[in-house]
Structure 1
């Protein structure tokens, strides 16, 4: 049988999920199955206490599509968020698979947004989908064409003291400050 025929079957399906967390070259592999699962050269480990999610939603709205994963409090990838969270994101890919099938399907891709510990023995990982990045701002340095840096900032390189004027204010009209030295 194929993945699709098992997936749409009324009684032949035996689904489980494989969770792959990645940060650079580091990988954490877990399965919702009752025993460790080998996929190629990778081994997805069973988690004592189980690992599960609240279901994948595809609404087109990134804030609604947050995925919550429940796992034991001592899960290695969750432990990275104790104290200060990691400086780089931890990606998550979820694979759906059926018992006895060699085929697995990518069902969700995203990253960990936050981790909390609602119970002493439980961690909750809140993950945002890859589509959430579409709503993020793009380039932020765009205030002027020849130079993307703020005037007089460390990266700008213009010396503020060379353009400083010491003068007394001779008059104020609305938002304008008047002094003859400013004309120079």
Structure 2
């Protein structure tokens, strides 16, 4: 038990800790508690199993890293399935007692990355977070000169409307991480590679490794029954060809198509 929790218990008050994640125009709010959702400043915080490390404040930013563990099925964790998002995810942690009109922010920073671990009992995601001061001190490139697009699919710079490309389907057969779905005939192989599957009943998410017509391979097993409804979102290999043919989104392509594939100072020209 922390000192804060001990004092709150002594005073007969229930402590509460809230987590507010922001990425682009999306906000994800969670309360590290079980039971009913918690409302603070007119915003709803969904109960979630969240465990964090200790809060450290020093001049050595490497020691001030905060680790937050949450279920891998969480919406925030799902954003890191295919790598770190294009833009910094901001995090603010509030802590106080239930019912208070003002909960002080005890930590503010960014989420730098995530790692996933699987055991017999749980599949979890560890978020590695650092304080804002560390990001302000760091120098380096924010954007690379590269052929493929660096934008996060469906993100604010990609601008592809995910709702326009989603596909509703029913499960025809389920075998662990392999699913057979009722997809339209002619569905191209690999269309959903790098995409996402979300169950209609409870919102469970899985990263799609690939598909051969209507047979999908997920990054880990998902227990589903025949007839269960799911929503599919196509993936993208970040190439110009995929951007244009699959999403008709060439105007927002972020790569540099005309980078020479051979070094002109090494290979002869012509």
TM-score range, shorter chain: 0.5 to 0.7
Consecutive unaligned residues in structure 1, runs of 5 or more: 141-184
Could you tell me the TM-score, scaled by structure 2's length?
0.46
Could you tell me whether the CA contact under 8 Å between 2:115 and 2:126 is conserved in 1?
Answer: yes
The DSSP-based 3-state class of the residue aligned with 1:74 is: coil
CA offsets, 1:74-105, max 9 Å, x none?
Answer: 11011111113211111000011212322200
Could you tell me whether the CA contact under 8 Å between 2:23 and 2:90 is conserved in 1?
Answer: yes
Could you tell me whether the CA contact under 8 Å between 2:8 and 2:15 is conserved in 1?
Answer: no
Which residue matches 1:91?
Answer: 90
Which residue matches 1:64?
Answer: 63
Aligned length: 134
Structure with greater Cα Rg: 1
Which residue matches 1:23?
Answer: 23
After TM superposition, the runs of 4+ consecutive aligned structure 1 residues lying more than 4 A away are 5-10
The DSSP-based 3-state class of the residue aligned with 1:100 is: coil
Considering Cα pairs closer than 8 Å and 6+ residues apart, tell me whether 1 or 2 has the greater RCO. Answer: 1
Which residue matches 1:134?
Answer: 136
Could you tell me whether the CA contact under 8 Å between 1:66 and 1:128 is conserved in 2?
Answer: yes
Which residue matches 1:122?
Answer: 124
Which residue matches 2:46?
Answer: 45
The DSSP-based 3-state class of the residue aligned with 2:133 is: helix
Q: What root-mean-square deviation, in Å, do the aligned CA atoms of Structure 1 and Structure 2 show?
A: 2.4
Which residue matches 1:107?
Answer: 106
Could you tell me whether the CA contact under 8 Å between 1:111 and 1:128 is conserved in 2?
Answer: yes
In the aligned structure 1, how far is the partner of 2:10 from the partner of 2:73? 35
Consecutive unaligned residues in structure 2, runs of 5 or more: 143-270
User: CA separation of 1:97/1:86 partners in 2, compared to 1, >3 Å: closer, same or farther?
Assistant: same
Is the aligned partner of 1:78 residue 2:77?
yes
Could you tell me the TM-score, scaled by structure 1's length?
0.66
Could you tell me whether the CA contact under 8 Å between 1:6 and 1:98 is conserved in 2?
Answer: no
In the aligned structure 1, how far is the partner of 2:32 from the partner of 2:93? 11
